[in-house]
Amino acid sequence: MRAATCAAPFARLADYLDGKLAASDQAGLEQHLAHCASCAAHVAWLRLVTGIMRADHSLEAPQATIQRAIALKQRLRPQPGLLERLVAALVYDSRSQLGLAGVRQSPTSSYQLLYRAGELDIDLQLFPRASGHWDVLGQALPAPAGLKVELWQGDSTLASAPASNYGEFRFPSLVPGQYRLALYTGQQQVDITDLVV
């Protein structure tokens, strides 16, 4: 069986301590407190807290100091919307591997490049076409959600490709030359600045 809850509201107990109750209400509440341990405990706690508050003589900080602290904190907080820019470093180039003795590698053979920027690895596979153009297949791992990849040459964007859920992207039929890949992952931009096809 549940115990009955006390009907004395907290605000009434606070008014009792502040002497704001009428004499008849105060007498009735004192009689209630004599029999209700829960309300008596609330009144004891309120007496303790109000006593501490009244004994506190600390001074409030000047308004100018508060405003200066707020302004300083806002200046130190990183501004939203700014992209963190990382330049990816080449960590593997399959063309630098020694070939088998007596076997030459054609200058138009496919090859692999692996770049790293922070926690992101970018794997590029480059395949030649009969026309002399190249296909670039890439994958960013771990695959960031909403990855967008742009292909640049000089100051011009040549193509843009959304990546798959697995971080895969493709730029087909590129003319041999120097390119830049820009990968956008939320608040981060990762650049491959020295992609020579």
| 30-62 tens-digit pLDDT | 898 898 888 888 899 989 888 888 887 888 888
CA 87-88-89 angle, to 5 degrees, is: 120
Distances in Å between the Cα of 51 and the Cα atoms of 3, 37, 47 are 32, 21, 6
Please give the pLDDT value at position 87: 93
Please give the pLDDT value at position 56: 79
- 167-194 average pLDDT score: 92
Looking at the DSSP bridge assignments, the partners of residue 168 are 139
105, 95 Cβ separation under 8 angstroms: yes
Please give the pLDDT value at position 191: 94
Whole-structure pTM value: 0.55
Domain ranges (residues) in the chain: 7-54, 84-95+108-196
pLDDT at 69 over 90: no
Q: Which residues contact 33 (CB under 8 A, 6 or more apart)?
A: 39, 40, 43
What's the pLDDT band for 194 if we cut at 50, 70, 90? confident
> Which pLDDT tens digit goes with each residue over 81-130?
567 889 999 999 988 876 555 555 555 689 999 999 988 999 999 999 99
The CATH code of the domain at 84-95+108-196 is 2.60.40.10
d(CA 134, CA 125): 10
Evaluate the omega torsion of the peptide bond into residue 9 and state whether it is cis, within 30 degrees of 0.
no
> Which pLDDT tens digit goes with each residue over 117-163?
988 999 999 999 999 999 999 999 998 888 999 999 988 899 998 89
CA 93-104-193 angle, to 5 degrees, is: 25
pLDDT at 1 over 60: no
What's the pLDDT band for 3 if we cut at 50, 70, 90? very low
144, 171 Cβ separation under 8 angstroms: no
Report residue 56 as tokens.
């506190």
Beta strands in the chain (DSSP E): 84-87, 89-93, 111-117, 120-128, 134-141, 148-153, 156-162, 168-174, 178-185, 188-196
The DSSP element (H or E) to which 67 belongs, if any, is helix 63-76
Q: Which residue has the higher pLDDT, 194 or 179?
A: 179
Q: Which of 190, 185, 159 is nearest to 172 (CA)?
A: 159
Please give the pLDDT value at position 106: 58
Please give the pLDDT value at position 100: 56
